[in-house]
């Protein structure tokens, strides 16, 4: 009977374990030094904000693992011998495997800033990061966050719920401008400022200064400004957690290099989740995608491969979702920060500046290529269908009601979007949806 060992108890590792168990009687061991049990990493912020307790973030009861014959081992792996198929732990223990899955996740980026290892400086990825943040933000007067991305905005929201003033250093001219087009980045930048965040654009971290006890007391920015603070959140993205494997002989670029079956260059060794870098990613996808659903899909794929049904990883079209304070964000297909030569766009924004939709389509064929939604929910299955069927921008605009997923009493904006489209495209108009009674009353 094969012994399948999985390093990492995040979504990729645990999904692999669950699907191996569904399809086989193999012995399964899941190793993690972070926590005893699998938890929802995306819920860390809600623990700090007081909305949840840690035990509420565990999708499975503690008895689940024994019942499903999945052995859990707490510990940190120090070395791997691929020839003898043996793991060595930091405490000296050893464990053999027949097949190995590396699902080691991510770590927060650091870029060699002076003072980045002082007390009171931390990213937000692991449970230990949350505990550190809990300890070092008590009774502080100000926090500074470095890096304008999704983790940074989560950290800002967390701190503000405790009435801790936040200064946010963003090197771009608009928030998340390296990912979002100008219009969407402007909308989110304004929204962040409305939440009383001291947002400093075009500003980078130069140095973190220490007090007499080795704890952060201030930061120095690229403009020469000194900002007193007692906590610094380092959130300029994450990178694959693979440093402990760099001298082990496995192929590493930014992450663990794997083929379309998630197989590494070592026999019977696979990679999944944030640490995995696809040698040849599918069309429209990136080599490394550190998002929750990618880990889940990779785990499902490996669950089949490890139990005798060799399966290619086929994630389909790109999609993602997030939240900027109270504005929800969805993206489907390809919407880059700048249009490519063959692309055109149509953009609509609500009068209050809280909602917008950006459609990107091919100039010559009018085929829809992608969409960004802010403050408006759309149905995943509908957009997946439209993109695969290569529907035109006119078809999409005319049939927006089919994609709308907002609750019953949320104001719909389909007709407003259609009317604006017709003004900009008078030679090729679409049929405008009739406004319902609720819209007429509240418009």
Q: Per-residue DSSP letters for 120-135?
A: TEE-SSSHHHHHHHHH
Return the pLDDT at 436.
56
Stretch 325-334: mean pLDDT, rounded?
A: 96
Query: Which CATH superfamily groups domain 121-236?
Result: FAD/NAD(P)-binding domain (3.50.50.60)
pTM of the predicted structure, to 2 decimals: 0.93
Asked if pLDDT for residue 441 goes beyond 50, the answer is no
Residue carrying structure tokens 């957009």? 383
Stretch 138-166: mean pLDDT, rounded?
A: 96
Tell me the pLDDT tens digit for each residue of 218-243.
Answer: 999 999 999 999 999 999 999 999 99
Return the pLDDT at 442.
47
Tell me the pLDDT tens digit for each residue of 10-36.
Answer: 999 999 999 999 999 999 999 999 999
Distances (CA, A) of 85 to 100, 153, 236, 266: 8, 42, 36, 10
- Answer for the pair 369, 360: CB distance below 8 angstroms, yes or no: yes
For residues 168 and 414, what is the distance between their CA atoms, to the nearest angstrom?
Answer: 35
Domain range annotation of the chain: 3-107+239-305, 121-236, 319-442
For residues 399 and 397, what is the distance between their CA atoms, to the nearest angstrom?
Answer: 6
Stretch 367-384: mean pLDDT, rounded?
A: 97
Stretch 433-437: mean pLDDT, rounded?
A: 61
Tell me the pLDDT tens digit for each residue of 236-280.
Answer: 999 999 999 999 999 999 999 999 999 999 999 999 999 999 999
pLDDT band for position 412 (cuts 50, 70, 90)? confident
Q: What is the CATH number of domain 319-442?
A: 3.30.390
Kindly report which listed range (331-345, 356-370, 407-421) carries the lowest average pLDDT score. Answer: 407-421
For residues 12 and 17, what is the distance between their CA atoms, to the nearest angstrom?
Answer: 9
Share of the chain above pLDDT 70, in %: 98
Return the pLDDT at 437.
45
**Do 121-236 and 3-107+239-305 have the same topology in CATH?**
yes
Tell me the pLDDT tens digit for each residue of 174-202.
Answer: 999 999 999 999 999 999 999 999 999 99
Q: Is CATH 1.25.40.10 what the domain over 3-107+239-305 is classified as, yes or no? A: no
């Amino acid at each position: 009977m094969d012994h399948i060992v999985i390093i990492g108890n995040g979504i990729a590792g645990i999904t692999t374990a669950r699907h191996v168990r569904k399809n086989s009687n193999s012995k399964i061991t899941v190793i993690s030094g972070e926590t005893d049990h699998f938890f929802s990493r995306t819920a860390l912020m809600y623990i700090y904000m007081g909305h949840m307790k840690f035990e509420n973030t565990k999708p499975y009861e503690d008895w689940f693992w024994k019942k499903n014959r999945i052995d859990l081992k707490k510990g940190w792996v120090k070395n791997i011998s691929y020839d003898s198929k043996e793991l060595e732990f930091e405490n000296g223990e050893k464990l053999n495997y027949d097949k190995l899955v590396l699902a080691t996740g991510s770590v927060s980026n650091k870029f060699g800033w002076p003072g980045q290892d002082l007390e009171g400086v931390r990213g937000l990825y692991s449970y230990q990061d949350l505990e550190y943040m809990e300890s070092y933000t008590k009774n502080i007067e100000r926090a500074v966050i470095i890096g304008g991305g999704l983790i940074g905005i989560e950290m800002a929201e967390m701190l503000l719920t405790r009435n801790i003033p936040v200064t946010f250093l963003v090197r771009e001219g608009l928030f998340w401008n390296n990912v979002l087009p100008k219009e969407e980045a402007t909308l989110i930048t304004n929204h962040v400022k409305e939440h009383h965040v001291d947002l400093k654009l075009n500003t980078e971290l130069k140095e973190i200064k220490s007090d007499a006890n080795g704890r952060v007391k201030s930061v120095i920015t690229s403009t020469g400004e000194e900002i007193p603070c007692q906590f610094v959140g380092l959130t300029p993205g994450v990178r694959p957690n693979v440093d402990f494997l760099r001298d082990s002989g496995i192929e590493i670029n930014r992450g663990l290099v794997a083929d379309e079956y998630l197989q590494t260059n070592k026999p019977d060794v696979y990679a999944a989740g944030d640490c995995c870098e696809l040698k040849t990613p599918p069309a429209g996808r990136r080599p490394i995608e550190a998002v929750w659903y990618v880990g889940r899909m990779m785990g499902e794929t490996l669950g089949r491969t490890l139990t005798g049904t060799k399966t290619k990883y086929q994630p389909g079209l790109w999609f993602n979702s997030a939240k900027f304070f109270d504005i929800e964000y969805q993206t489907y297909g390809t919407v880059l920060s700048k249009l490519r030569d063959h692309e055109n766009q149509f953009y609509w924004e609500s009068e209050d500046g809280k909602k917008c939709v950006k459609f990107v389509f091919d100039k010559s064929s009018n085929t829809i290529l992608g969409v960004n939604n802010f403050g408006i929910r759309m149905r995943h299955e509908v957009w997946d269908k439209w993109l695969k069927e290569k529907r035109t921008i006119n078809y999409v605009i005319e049939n927006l009601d089919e994609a709308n997923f907002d609750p019953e009493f949320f104001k719909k904006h389909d007709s407003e979007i259609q009317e604006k489209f017709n003004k900009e495209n008078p030679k090729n108009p679409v049929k405008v949806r009739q406004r319902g009674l609720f819209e007429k009353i509240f418009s």
